[in-house]
Amino acid sequence: MVHVFSRFRFRWGLGLIAGLLPLSLLVIVVFLLHAAWPAITFNGLGFLIHNSWNLGNMYADPVMVRGQEVLPRADYGVLFLVVGTLLTSLIALILAVPFGILSAIFLAEGLRGPARTLGSFLVELLAAVPSVVYGLWGYLVLIPLLGRHVYPWLEQSLGTFVPIFHGPSGSGYGLLTAGILLGFMVVPLIAASLRDALVATPSALREAGASMGASRMEIVRQILLPGQRNLIIGVTVLAFGRALGETMAVLMVSGNALNSLPKNIYDPISTMAAFIASQLDSAMQDPTGMAVHALAEIALLLMVISVLVNGAARGVLWLSGHRT
């Protein structure tokens, strides 16, 4: 009897502890919603559809608007952040997906034995480098290189017939630089997952292809890769979710634009994550606290978007029988 009781007590205890994980997700949502509520009622839908981050007149007395105490002429609209976040992540994916797939093929099919282990290790280490070190490298290496040499050249060549590459190419801080840096940061995720899946493909599939006279690369392209379509989609969405939330690297190379949409691919931008990190100091100066509430609304928005993207990715991976 005692044993039965203690067994269930142990199990219930474990279950309660395991419940802390989903609970923490719930608590985060509830507290963010609570903190953002004054801003949500004050801003309404306009928050998402115009460009204005204006704390209002700091030296005037607060006024009441829609039941909330705010500074006169305070106005919050973060369309530019949503656009900046989505565009940087999109550029990151456009670069990371082909490079990720190609290097996964190289690792799985072109190398074997210790060389494959070492190569995979190198690619996975890219994911281990801290975000702020990427930021440092981007700030000191990538920006001078791209801003002085690559972007002027892109502007002269591609810019003459592709509108978004049209100049001025600016200083190097901006959308494309942030996208490139993010691309390097998410590429290991894609490469490692696909490499594992390729290595684990049953050899019967390869043999079937080889018996038809297909070369190794033809087997990869026409048999193995189509079989991994769902995995590739799922991991790509997962990488998108990760790129959306990256903070430090973007903060250091994006140019931190305020209230403006990028006019070309070189323009300075800001993302939701980087904006939260860079604006809290000044938001705390708002005596009504509305700026801090508005930042909470950005955090909530970012969280909702990432959770949706992540949930979608997990769904696709789960359907395809992977759990990465």
- The long-range contacts involving 125-128, CB below 8 angstroms and separated by at least 24 positions, are 125/188, 126/184, 126/185, 126/187, 126/188, 127/185, 127/188, 127/189, 127/192
Q: Scanning residues 178 to 197, which ones bind other proteins (CB under 8 A)?
A: 184, 187-188, 191
Q: Which stretch binds other proteins (CB under 8 A): 43-51, 165-173, 199-207, 302-310?
A: 302-310
Binding mask 214-253 toward other proteins (x if CB under 8 A, else -) reads -xxxx--x----------------x--xx-xxxxx--xx-
Of 106, 123, 308, 322, the closest CA to residue 232 belongs to 322
Angle, helix 229-245 to helix 290-319, in steps of 10 degrees: 170
**Residue selected from 48, 65, 90, 136 as contacting other proteins according to rule CB under 8 A:** 136
Q: Which stretch binds other proteins (CB under 8 A): 151-159, 164-172, 201-209, 306-314?
A: 306-314
**Residue selected from 39, 74, 105, 316 as contacting other proteins according to rule CB under 8 A:** 105
Closest to other proteins by CB, 69 vs 124, is 124
By CB under 8 A, tell whether 40 contacts other proteins: no
By CB under 8 A, tell whether 94 contacts other proteins: no
Of 170, 86, 177, the closest CA to residue 134 belongs to 177
CA distance readout (Å), 14 to 3, 99, 173, 240, 253: 16, 42, 49, 33, 44
Residue 66 region by backbone torsions, left for phi larger than 0, else alpha for psi between -120 and 50, else beta: left
Q: Report the amino acid identity of residue 267.
A: D
Q: Total residues at the site for other proteins (CB under 8 A)?
A: 84
Rounded distance between C-alpha atoms, residue 324 and residue 317, angstroms = 8
By CB under 8 A, tell whether 115 contacts other proteins: no
By CB under 8 A, tell whether 119 contacts other proteins: yes
By CB under 8 A, tell whether 311 contacts other proteins: yes
> What residues have CB less than 8 Å from 205, skipping those under 6 apart?
219, 223, 224, 227
Tokens 């594992």 belong to which residue?
196
Closest to other proteins by CB, 79 vs 307, is 307
Query: Which DSSP helix (H) or strand (E) runs through 36?
Result: helix 2-43
**Residue selected from 273, 290, 291, 294 as contacting other proteins according to rule CB under 8 A:** 273
Q: Which stretch binds other proteins (CB under 8 A): 62-70, 71-79, 121-129, 160-168?
A: 121-129
Nearest distance from C-beta of residue 160 to other proteins, angstroms: 26
Of 83, 77, 69, 14, the closest CA to residue 49 belongs to 77
Rounded distance between C-alpha atoms, residue 237 and residue 63, angstroms = 44
By CB under 8 A, tell whether 6 contacts other proteins: yes
**Residue selected from 60, 94, 125, 261 as contacting other proteins according to rule CB under 8 A:** 125
Rounded distance between C-alpha atoms, residue 183 and residue 196, angstroms = 20
Strand partners, 86: none
SS3 for 43?
A: helix
Nearest distance from C-beta of residue 181 to other proteins, angstroms: 10
Q: Which stretch binds other proteins (CB under 8 A): 149-157, 198-206, 212-220, 262-270?
A: 212-220
How many whole angstroms from its chain centre is CA 258?
A: 20
By CB under 8 A, tell whether 76 contacts other proteins: no
**Residue selected from 140, 208, 212, 261 as contacting other proteins according to rule CB under 8 A:** 140
Binding mask 8-27 toward other proteins (x if CB under 8 A, else -) reads --xx-xxx-xxxxxx-xx--
Nearest distance from C-beta of residue 140 to other proteins, angstroms: 8
By CB under 8 A, tell whether 299 contacts other proteins: yes
